[in-house]
Structure 1
Amino acid sequence: MPIRFDQPIWLALLLLLVPAILIAWRSRGGLSRAKVWTTLTLRTVLIATLALALAQPSWVRRGEGLTVTVLIDRSQSVPMALKTSALDFLTKAVEAKERREDRVAVVTIARDASITAMPDSYSAITVGADDGDPSATNLAAAVRLALAIMPNDTANRIVLASDGNETTDSVLAAAEIARANGVPIDVLPLEYEYPNEVLFERVVTPARAREGQTARVRMVLRSQTRTRGTVRLSMNGEPLDLNGAEPGDGLAVELDPGPNALEQMISLDASGPQRFEAVFVPDDPAADAIDRNNTAMSVTFVGGEGKVLLVADDVGSTQFLAAALRASGITVELRSPTTLDGGLVALSGYDSVILVNTARWSFDQEQDRMLHAYVHDLGGGLVMIGGNQSFGAGGWIDSEVAKTLPVDLNPPATRQMPAGALALIMHSCEMAQGNFWGQQVAQAAIDALSRLDYVGIIEFNWGAQDGFQGCRWAFPMQRLGDKTAALDSTKTMQVGDMPTFAPSMQLALQGLMNTTAAQRHTIIISDGDPQPPSTQLLKEFADKKVTVTTVMVGGHGTPLDRGRMQAVAEKTGGQFYNVKNPKQLPQIFIKEARIVSRSLIQDGETFQPQVVSQLPGPTQGFGSVPTIDGYVLTAKREGLANTAMVVPTSDGRDPLLASWNYGLGRTIAYTSDVSSLWGAAWASWERFQAFWEQAIRWSMRPSTPSNLHVNTRFEGDQAIVELEATDADASSLNFLNTSAIVLRPDHEPVEVTLQQTGPGLYRGQFDTDEAGAYLINIGYESTDGTATAQGNIQAAVTVPYPGEFRTVKHNAALLEALARDTGGRVLAGGDPALADLFDRTALEVPRSMKRMWDLLAMIAAALLVLDVAARRLSIDPTEAAAAARSAVSRRAAVGAGTLDAWKRTKSQSAERADPLAARSRFDADASDVPAVDVAAETSGGPATAGTSPRVGGRPETDAGPPEGDDGDGDYTSRLLAAKRRARGNDGEGAPDA
């Protein structure tokens, strides 16, 4: 039946039709036959329509098509040859589709599932250029995504091509949803096996140790067969000698099938995190198919004297500070930003990091996030020291590091100071992931500007209605303010392929010149293939002192295009960048955005700082300090920040030194510098060493007590962390408040709860589903709040390679169980046509429904109005026809009267043009024709005797029809009637006045 009723009980209302018809018939009275049948019909249809609407009918349509959603495993565990053959097989199997109404959808599988083709009759088997992170397999996510995109007007089937090795979630759990919806899952097993594979499972070292201690290093390997090879071990990148007097430093081994364990004793002679890396090299490379799983790593934290890392673009500018700290007994290591390696593990070996006049563009985004995590989650200290490339002048505004600082890098809102203006011309569409990188660089530039600066973003879009030759403002030139609107606009940019630079540059110049900025700058990102701007336009930029920086990225650009982009920068005073690695783009845009923030530097005179706080902290005991010759303008940060030193100016008191606790760490901001540039007086100050020793030691992370021990190990895909706590008498410390922060390889923090499992023992666990180092920071505190047991302790666990490389064989058993649970099939290779992907056997025929009750309800409402009208209104058909004819004739009479009036007006105009003719005509019988008061006649009042008509005049008013008139005549007819009555009274004398 094509109609289905959700509430069929309401159809019983149709029984009311019988009494309704009887009542209507008996009460017809003297009504005409036509009216009786009209009301009876309307009443019957109304009741029937209401009954049907209340029953909630739906139109049921039977689906004829079949949608096959193909899930393709693109993870690294599947050999490339199998991926290619699977694509070929599925492509040919889909091409065998016979019915036009059948559809195909495609979902690729990696760490996440992604759609490459929506359900469509024209879709083909395809994979995207970027299938996501292939280091993991989430089959369950792919099944859920397939169920989500399935149409409900066709039958549905899922085809999964995979090796069956999943690293995340459970596909069998997701299959329960498919089975509940009657969707079978066919599987195409991608079968392989590596019979000679060797896996380096782990390197086990102590989580923590003391400096000078000898540690046991245990290496565990698993081999499929008996294999010979060499094991090499390094610490912090330096190879360790494992074979004694034998040549080389590797250890020759013969591995038995199954697990194999090797042990070495290593002396730990340095403090900080010691990174161990072990590698197995087979004698026969053909005996080991996957080399990615031949490496394992481990980290041991070695306690010792505290040390700090001093980072500067110009290491020479740190000589005064480094010498003072070393003289105070603090171990100092000097590095430039370009030599920072080892990630967060290496950084965690320092108790404090000092950034001396270091620009934001010297760090990539990963390092920026790493420094934030180092302070907030690992409890490290951070000190930022000023200079002409530090704080806001160095592009640090709104960075991750800026969040940790006790000052606001934006200038004070009340400060009147020159602003800068920046125009961004976006043409990144030709590079890989152009929209993504366009968004990233625009956001980086916006973050580097202050709230007082101007910014505008220009995009190219042929369909733009409000632009100039396809170029339009994605974000019109305006002050940044809180930056929310500007950052939001970067997410909706449409980076089109512009044919020429001129329109966008003209638009940028116009926007920049409409600002009051002291410095105006433009950045163009492009592959260089648009036509270059004219020499006249470049001269206009130069004359108006608007600089242009060009950034060339990959695309269709040629060496000629490169020269043109370079010429644009040179002729306008900007810079040219030829970028090969897109990860460098945000740093470049931050550096260029800094050009419009030069006003943040306050120099050119000598300033006398004031100490305004003696609270416990880095400046306690220092009542006065020497003068400075410059500083970077910042604003006081509200909250718990302690601004101990300020620079008094006519505009207020600007922060010079501030400090606070941030997360688990401490940070200090000193807005002047420690070199001869601005700090010559400080370098010769007798208390210079004491001041900086106290400040740096305040920022350093406290040392870990020796009565706390941390152990880590793996149980499957989970890491176990255990804390053993004792007091000075070796008694267990119980009921501590413990918590742990785990920094994943992507620096995302995860909170882990440690529960007490025994006397002085606390245990927690967390997932390790990504390759890389997991940094653990355990905080502990006694329940009574005393400092006898309080602090932080660090550890780390390492996952050397993705779980994809732990598998040496397909998991066909899982795939077969998946097909069996959902009623699917196990497809075999061979002839793709025999696979019959569009088999309809045992598939549930879909039925789609379109509701009808709302339409019926509207019809019933209209019928109700007609029913009332038919019963209450009395309409005589004869009278209705006469009224219609009268209306038509009245409209015709009005038209005729209008024509007569036009003719008289024309005649009177002719008479005025020939007065003699008019006079002769009226004088012929002027004495015999009485005068008529036209106004009185037309108004129904008496005429005035002896009055003369106005020749060629018009009646002044039309107050209404004459008395006794039925009002059906028009104005002209009434006028003619008045003249006839006047002539009829000619022999009786004038009418009464």
Structure 2
Amino acid sequence: MPTIGFTQPEWLLALPVLAAALIYGARGSYAGLRGWRLIGAWIVRGAIVLLLVLALAGAQIVRPAEEMTVVFALDDSYSVAPTERERALGLVRDALGKREPGRRAALVVFGGEAMVEAEALAQPGEVAVSAQVDGGHTDLGAALRLALGLIAPDTAGRVVLLTDGNENTGAVSEQLLTAEAARVVVDVLPLQTRSRHDALVADLRVPGEARREEPFQVHVDLHASEPTDAELTVLVDDEPVEARSVSLSEGTRTLSLPLSLSEPGFHRVDVVLEGVDDECRENDLGTGFVRVRGEPRVLVVDAAPEEAAALERALQLQEIEVRVGGPAALPISAADLEAWDAIFLSDFPSYRMSYRQQEMLRDATRDRGIGLGMIGGEFGFGAGGYYRSPVEEALPVSMDVSKHRSFPPAAVLIVMDTSGSMGMEEDGYQKIELAAEAGCAIVDLLQHYDSVGFLASDPAPTEIAPLRKLENREGIKSDIRSVRAGGGGISVYPSLQAAYGVLRQYGSPVRHIILLADGSDCDEQPGSVEIARQMASEKISITAVAFGDGPHTPFLQDVAAAGNGQYYLTERARDLKGIFTREALKITKSVLVEETFRARPADASEVTSGLDWASAPPLMGYVATTRKDLARTPLVSHKDDPLLAHWQFGLGRSVAFTSDAKAHWAADWLGWGEFTRFWGQTVRWVLRRPGSELLHPRVERGTEGSLLVAEAWDEDGSPINGLEVTATLSLPGGGSEELSLPQAGPGRYEAPIEARQAGAYVAAVVAQGPGGFEAERTMGFAVPYPPDYADVAANTDLLQRVAAQTGGRVIELPEQVWAPPRTFPHTRTDIRRWLLWAAALLLPLDVAIRRLMVRREDLAPAWEALRSVATRLRPQRVEEPETVGALLQSRRSARRERVESYRPPIPAVPPARTEQAPIAEPPPEPPRPDPVKVEAAAAEEDEAADTTSRLLKRKRELRGGG
């Protein structure tokens, strides 16, 4: 039965006070009221006050729920046996077959995350699993959270967890509190794990550091479900170093393997279990990392590695271990970066590496102290497309040079393929979105007097952003970002013809087209090369960018060559920003300064100290950049542009040399006597600092999860307390997490970590304390496979606790799913708005009762009108005698005769006379009869006549209606 509830019942305490105030205030306002007016005023005023107080108290209508929602949450992780999963689906089907009216059902599938499989299940045949979830993890908390969200608020709720209970991520305990608060019962159906014939690597423990050529121990835990023989192989940096046969009994066996490494640096150690016929191969691998102390190592990456031979020889003469390589030498993970103490990019364009690699280089310098250097050339700095890139963030110079110089006005028209392939996603974004952002980067890069336009081709050219000056950059960028992917491919000739028609009318001295086309789908090619050649004769250049290596890339190369432009091939939309900005800077001639000059010392620095700069030969070019505020510039050009700049970036250092180090701009420097010392000092300045011997980080794994532990000891082995310890954890898929490690014991600092992704992790730990104490250390660890691939048993204890906490139970029969819960929730309907409306409608009545005087006689017309309406609406039959009409006429004639008999005689009017006669006195009037009597007599007759008329009229109406 519905009841009334309140959200703020304390307002009800105001009723007595308001009642007293109402009585007190009514003494004056109700003084002139009597009878029913006084009673009505009290009732209306009291009702208004009551309604307002109920609204303030948050009045609600509370009804018990009559329906129930049951959400089934099915564990689809790898650890659940397939037969058990089918058993769980069978229970869901049987339960649906026994469902009664008023019962709803839904299905959630979960593993490492949870997804809705069916928001409303109607028939048993609808029960199936199509959702794809992360099968390597089990997150019971995510499953329960999603299931609770599917329960309608006006129904009783029940969640049925169909799982083995092996929670290895998230926390179901937090969601149980929410279920309790919502009075939702959680039942469980325990499922069994896979019955495996399996052998696996349970754990691999490798010391964080080792000395060069000194033995150290690697500990391996091997687990087998039954006795078996296997081959164990140990690899260091993917190279086998040891192999042995092992005999395993049922259970876990620990092996200790001695290793020694001669190469300094950060090394990966893998153990692989082979020769076992088991169900799961993913868990036959263990991985760890060890750092071998030794001389620092430097990686130089050049687009043409053979041209960096002079730099390589100079560093070797300085006894710096160096390796020179091409794009393939760039590390692809945070763990790979740890092998180097500094990385130099020499004349290397941004679009030759992925965006993620750029982010890793920046993060490695900022968070882990790895040195970063960039050396110029035709593909360095802004000329290499590093404008607004992650690498630019880490460098001491900016690629934006617009604030310090002026260049001839340029007009850049982007012609872009917007076919359906551009709608495909890359790194979570559509390719068309990344291409549009590349166009926006040009808008930001160029000067206000330059012009930018945007044409889309799908397949006919469409103007997205008209070519205009950059006076309203945001408006132009908004136009560019409005582009959407379509269907067909690009029509090259019509697109170039449209661009030619726009640019030939433009008066800018620099006019350029950037053509982006699918390398596999270029339509209407005939005439394209000829029109490109025609535009080149009018000093309109064309850059062609092929998206994907397809059969039409040679055609795009020909277009670029005919248009006196550059040709690019890229597979990634992320690269377009670097390509576009490089072209914009190149055609405006704003970054490449190819003039002969001598380096001029500026800021004092240990990098350039002790060198004979008076003997330095001239350089023949450099890339223009702008010094950042906190950077130092030991060397500048003849135009005061940075030639050498360096700064501290987070934990690491970075350096920029804007000329090159090869036989091009620096051809004369290669024979300079100080060339070797200059590069030796530059590289040593940027190298990563050695880790502190006082800080010792490691990862501890246990049943409750993993801990990142850092221990701090002084030279005597005593614990160092009171430190502020933080860590940056680099993740396998890119990105990082910031951690704070509070003190947990003498010299011990720790924090839990959730390493969900399989792969390599790198933790950079920093400790700071009183007296300027500071220590840094980097360590690595790996998660070789997801936890659900380990050999685990069903966690029935956890499932029983889950059920007990919410009043649930272990399900055995399908009909138990629909059992009513101990208490049904209540639905609440807020009625405050209706109460306020009622009070507002009563307010005019309250005023009317007190202000308006209404007598009984005033109500008579209204009452008579109501009676008349009621009479007309009531059906009745009236018989009219034949003599009624004659009688009525006779009575009217008699009335007129009597009235006329009371009137005095009217004197006759004499005939008109021609002469004026004297005015005679009027004769005296005869006495008039009493008008009251006359009217009374007439009224009696009128009443009779009116009654008869009404009867006649009603009869005619009845006949007419019939």
TM over 0.5, shorter chain: yes
Alignment-derived partner of residue 839 in structure 2: 860
Cα 1:139/1:52, change in 2 over 3 Å = same
Secondary structure of 1:606's counterpart equals coil
Provide the C-alpha distance between the structure 1 equivalents of 2:91 and 2:456, rounded to a whole number of angstroms.
43
Work out which of the residue numbers 674, 682, 685 in structure 1 matches 2:669. Answer: 682
Work out which of the residue numbers 731, 735, 745 in structure 2 matches 1:745. Answer: 731
Cα 1:109/1:306, change in 2 over 3 Å = same
Provide the C-alpha distance between the structure 2 equivalents of 1:742 and 1:803, rounded to a whole number of angstroms.
23
AA in 2 matched with 1:853 = R
Alignment-derived partner of residue 380 in structure 2: 390
Alignment-derived partner of residue 404 in structure 1: 394
AA in 2 matched with 1:262 = L
Provide the C-alpha distance between the structure 1 equivalents of 2:679 and 2:139, rounded to a whole number of angstroms.
53
Stretches of structure 2 lacking an aligned partner (at least 5 in a row): 862-962
CA contact (8 A) 1:164 1:811 kept: yes
Alignment-derived partner of residue 624 in structure 2: 633
CA contact (8 A) 1:150 1:156 kept: yes
Alignment-derived partner of residue 50 in structure 2: 51
Cα 1:363/1:156, change in 2 over 3 Å = same
Work out which of the residue numbers 346, 351, 362 in structure 1 matches 2:352. Answer: 362
Work out which of the residue numbers 76, 79, 94 in structure 1 matches 2:78. Answer: 76
Provide the C-alpha distance between the structure 2 equivalents of 1:488 and 1:223, rounded to a whole number of angstroms.
63
Alignment-derived partner of residue 350 in structure 1: 340
Alignment-derived partner of residue 551 in structure 1: 547
CA contact (8 A) 2:546 2:569 kept: yes
Cα 1:864/1:399, change in 2 over 3 Å = same
Structure 1 range deviating more: 509-518 or 207-216: 509-518
CA contact (8 A) 2:169 2:754 kept: no
Cα 1:576/1:757, change in 2 over 3 Å = closer
CA contact (8 A) 1:741 1:752 kept: yes
Alignment-derived partner of residue 256 in structure 1: 249
AA in 2 matched with 1:155 = A
- List per-residue Cα deviations over 1:645-679 (Å, max 9, x = no partner): 22243xxx322211011111111011111112222
Q: Is residue 232 from structure 1 mapped to residue 228 from structure 2 by the alignment? A: no
CA contact (8 A) 2:91 2:814 kept: no
Q: Is residue 767 from structure 1 mapped to residue 753 from structure 2 by the alignment? A: yes
Provide the C-alpha distance between the structure 1 equivalents of 2:472 and 2:323, rounded to a whole number of angstroms.
40
Cα 1:709/1:857, change in 2 over 3 Å = closer
CA contact (8 A) 2:528 2:559 kept: no
Alignment of 1:275-674 (within 5 A): 275-283=268-276, 285=277, 288-341=278-331, 343-417=333-407, 420=412, 422=414, 427-428=420-421, 431=424, 436-438=429-431, 441-442=434-435, 445=438, 449=442, 451-453=444-446, 497-498=486-487, 518-523=511-516, 549=545, 551=547, 584-587=572-575, 590-592=578-580, 594-598=582-586, 599=588, 600-618=590-608, 621=611, 623=613, 625-638=616-629, 640-649=630-639, 653-674=640-661
CA contact (8 A) 1:395 1:449 kept: no
1:695, CA displacement in angstroms? 0.7
AA in 2 matched with 1:307 = R
1:691, CA displacement in angstroms? 0.9
Provide the C-alpha distance between the structure 2 equivalents of 1:392 and 1:810, rounded to a whole number of angstroms.
58
Provide the C-alpha distance between the structure 1 equivalents of 2:827 and 2:591, rounded to a whole number of angstroms.
69
Q: Is residue 696 from structure 1 mapped to residue 694 from structure 2 by the alignment? A: no
Secondary structure of 1:55's counterpart equals helix
Provide the C-alpha distance between the structure 1 equivalents of 2:256 and 2:38, rounded to a whole number of angstroms.
103
Provide the C-alpha distance between the structure 2 equivalents of 1:59 and 1:485, rounded to a whole number of angstroms.
56
AA in 2 matched with 1:597 = L
Alignment-derived partner of residue 910 in structure 1: none
Cα 1:352/1:448, change in 2 over 3 Å = farther
Alignment-derived partner of residue 270 in structure 1: 263
AA in 1 matched with 2:375 = I
CA contact (8 A) 2:432 2:485 kept: no
Alignment-derived partner of residue 820 in structure 2: 841
Cα 1:712/1:430, change in 2 over 3 Å = closer
- For these two proteins, the number of residue pairs brought into alignment is 823
Q: Is residue 814 from structure 1 mapped to residue 798 from structure 2 by the alignment? A: yes
AA in 2 matched with 1:70 = F
CA contact (8 A) 1:450 1:480 kept: no
AA in 2 matched with 1:349 = A
Alignment-derived partner of residue 145 in structure 1: 146
CA contact (8 A) 2:109 2:143 kept: yes
AA in 2 matched with 1:267 = S
AA in 2 matched with 1:741 = A
Provide the C-alpha distance between the structure 1 equivalents of 2:474 and 2:668, rounded to a whole number of angstroms.
39
Provide the C-alpha distance between the structure 2 equivalents of 1:340 and 1:540, rounded to a whole number of angstroms.
40
Secondary structure of 1:680's counterpart equals coil
Structure 1 range deviating more: 620-629 or 232-241: 620-629
1:183, CA displacement in angstroms? 0.6
State the Cα RMSD in Å: 4.9
CA contact (8 A) 1:5 1:55 kept: no
Secondary structure of 2:620's counterpart equals strand
Q: Is residue 4 from structure 1 mapped to residue 16 from structure 2 by the alignment? A: no
CA contact (8 A) 2:197 2:279 kept: yes
AA in 1 matched with 2:262 = D
Cα 1:870/1:181, change in 2 over 3 Å = closer
Cα 1:366/1:595, change in 2 over 3 Å = same
CA contact (8 A) 1:230 1:252 kept: yes
1:236, CA displacement in angstroms? 1.4
CA contact (8 A) 1:273 1:300 kept: yes
Alignment-derived partner of residue 786 in structure 2: 802
Alignment of 1:214-233 (within 5 A): 214-233=215-234
1:293, CA displacement in angstroms? 1.3
CA contact (8 A) 1:735 1:783 kept: no
Structure 1 range deviating more: 40-49 or 805-814: 40-49
AA in 1 matched with 2:821 = A
1:697, CA displacement in angstroms? 0.8
Provide the C-alpha distance between the structure 1 equivalents of 2:2 and 2:236, rounded to a whole number of angstroms.
76
- List per-residue Cα deviations over 1:878-909 (Å, max 9, x = no partner): 9xx9xxxxxxxxxxxxxxxxxxxxxxxxxxxx
Alignment-derived partner of residue 178 in structure 1: 179
Percent identity for Structure 1 against Structure 2: 25
AA in 2 matched with 1:410 = D
Stretches of structure 1 lacking an aligned partner (at least 5 in a row): 30-35, 242-249, 462-467, 554-561, 829-833, 882-993
- List per-residue Cα deviations over 1:686-718 (Å, max 9, x = no partner): 211111111111111234577876666544432
Secondary structure of 1:605's counterpart equals coil
Provide the C-alpha distance between the structure 2 equivalents of 1:602 and 1:470, rounded to a whole number of angstroms.
33
Q: Normalised by the size of structure 1, how large is the TM-score?
A: 0.71
Secondary structure of 1:628's counterpart equals coil
AA in 2 matched with 1:820 = A
CA contact (8 A) 2:161 2:189 kept: yes
- List per-residue Cα deviations over 1:330-378 (Å, max 9, x = no partner): 1111222223347323322322111111122222233222212221122
